[in-house]
Amino acid sequence: MRETAVREPADTLARRPDNTELSRALSAQLGIDLAPREFTLADGVRIGVDCADGDPPGLLVQCSPFAGQVKSSQRNKVIADAFKLAWLRDVHFPRARVLLVLGEPLSRLFGRGAWLPSAFATQRITVALLDADLRLRVLDIGT
């Protein structure tokens, strides 16, 4: 059987940070201690998030630091991540805030007149952009 190498898509960040690097950068900027987390819920369901604080968590974070041309699969991941965070908060950690951290090119999903920013704002999902130097900028997606 012949093996083939799997390569990262060209549209991910050239220097894509791992969860630990992202956690440290976000912790420093937000002033709270964040780390990659996996939760085993009361019903036995296991679910991971890229970053969370405390126990119980007060902040749940998913990161999609894509660069390059935005594709439908990346848009779908953003929506799936938001759905996961909102569900986890609403059902299991109702006092937690939700933060979705995206690469700069994904900001076009949140342009004026698009349905996505309105939906995210309604679900109390904060969206922030992460630049190549791992600096955050929160988007104003309020309605």
pLDDT per residue as tens digits for the range 24-51: 888 999 999 999 999 999 999 999 999 9
pTM: 0.82
| Within a domain: 3 | no
Q: Among all chains, which residue has been given the structure tokens 């991540």?
A: 81
Tally the domains of the chain. 1
What CATH number is given to the structural domain containing 81? 3.40.1350.10
pLDDT bucket at 94, cuts 50 / 70 / 90? very high
